[in-house]
Amino acid sequence: MVIVMKPGTSQEEIRKLSRQLEDQGMKVGVTNGVGCSILGLVGDTTHVDMDKLSINEHVERVMRVSEPYKRANRKFHPEDTVVTVGRAKIGGGSFGVIAGPCSVESKEQIIEVAEDVQRSGASMLRGGAFKPRTSPYSFQGMGVDGLELLLEAKKATGLPVVTEIMNPKYCELFEEKVDVVQIGARNMQNFDLLKEVGKMTKPVLLKRGLSSTYEEWIMSAEYIMSEGNENVILCERGIRTFETATRNTLDISAIPEVKRMSHLPVIVDPSHSGGYYWLVEPLALAAVAAGADGLIVEVHNDPACAKCDGQQSLTPKHFDKLMEKVRLLAQVAGKTVV
């Protein structure tokens, strides 16, 4: 249920109404927008008297929300959520670029790539320390050692670190060391992991599952937000279709549609979407044009020798050229690369 307050209603009156609703067993989230405030009710609202609320002199209108997701729903939060990580911002007109190798391989490699992407304008560093792989015989990442190398790269460049968590037992470690916690596509519906990450204070980058609907994707964000963490970034990374020419199929329509459904920022991973380095630039630019709030791009200093996903990684030189075009197109789209 959503309660839209009349313009000019005092915060004291909003708190008073919120307390009354909480006494009825509701959880109330307050969004103070331009001109009015909105109260979002979560819980069993079947016993809430809409008529009684409607005659409150401070209430503009009352609406029931039919969608199963509440906190992530744009009806609850009409204005775009902006996720801030250090000096980087994603959402609300700010366009953020996350870049780095698929996996951390050595201290020299991760620091060199971090310095390169920073010079080109990336605002955050990505790198896999723990790697979920289809084959158990593939490189699984350096684990905790790889995480420490990411911190070395952060120390050298100042770039916030984005890396994937796979097991709830590492939540405390990630809370201490990581700036943005990534949930990979394979774990999008690992609900125990989502709930534990929801108890963390760090922003969460939630990738869409390989065959997930928009609603299922947003419901996974709802799991995180229901535990108190509302700093969620949604990432479209391509879905599984009948097409075999590319690794996945970038669902470009997900960007405007999900942004209509939810207030959370939406970024795009053009590397996993196409699966080949020559597809990264056109897919990235298409994402900017469609209204995405950012990109996460794989960059490697020697793709031919990469231990993971070298075929879809840009060289630092190619990434620099991409960033020039992204800045220009983002400006046309009314966004600022931050």
Whether residue 54 sits in one domain with residue 95: no
Non-local CB neighbours of 299 within 8 Å, separated by 6+ positions: 99, 100, 101, 113, 116, 117, 313, 314, 315, 316, 319
Residue type, 266: V
Whether residue 117 sits in one domain with residue 237: yes
Domain contains 70: no
Domain count of the chain? Answer: 2
Whether residue 140 sits in one domain with residue 24: no
The predicted pLDDT at position 301 comes to 96
Whole-angstrom Cα distance, residue 83 to residue 92? Answer: 9
The predicted pLDDT at position 133 comes to 65
Domain contains 69: no
Whether residue 157 sits in one domain with residue 38: no
Question: pLDDT tens across 31-67, in order?
Answer: 887 778 999 998 888 788 888 898 999 999 998 888 9
Counting as low any pLDDT under 70, the low residues of the chain are 133-134, 137, 140
Cα 104 to chain centroid, rounded: 21
Q: b or e along 40-53 (b: 16 or more beta carbons within 10 Å of the residue's beta carbon)?
A: bbbbebeebeeeeb
Whether residue 177 sits in one domain with residue 240: yes
Whether residue 89 sits in one domain with residue 59: no
Whether residue 25 sits in one domain with residue 143: no
Boundary residue ending a domain (33, 63, 93)? 63
> Residue 219 belongs to a domain with what CATH number?
3.20.20.70
Whether residue 59 sits in one domain with residue 92: no
Question: pLDDT tens across 268-309, in order?
Answer: 999 999 999 999 999 999 999 999 999 999 999 999 999 988
Whether residue 59 sits in one domain with residue 164: no
Domain contains 121: yes
Whether residue 266 sits in one domain with residue 224: yes
Whether residue 88 sits in one domain with residue 54: no
> Residue 48 belongs to a domain with what CATH number?
3.30.70.1140
Domain contains 78: no
3-state helix, strand, coil in the chain (%, to 5): 40, 20, 40
The predicted pLDDT at position 111 comes to 97
Residue type, 236: E
Whole-angstrom Cα distance, residue 148 to residue 152? Answer: 6
Residue 57: give the domain boundaries. 2-63
Contact criterion met (CB below 8 Å) for 290 and 302: no
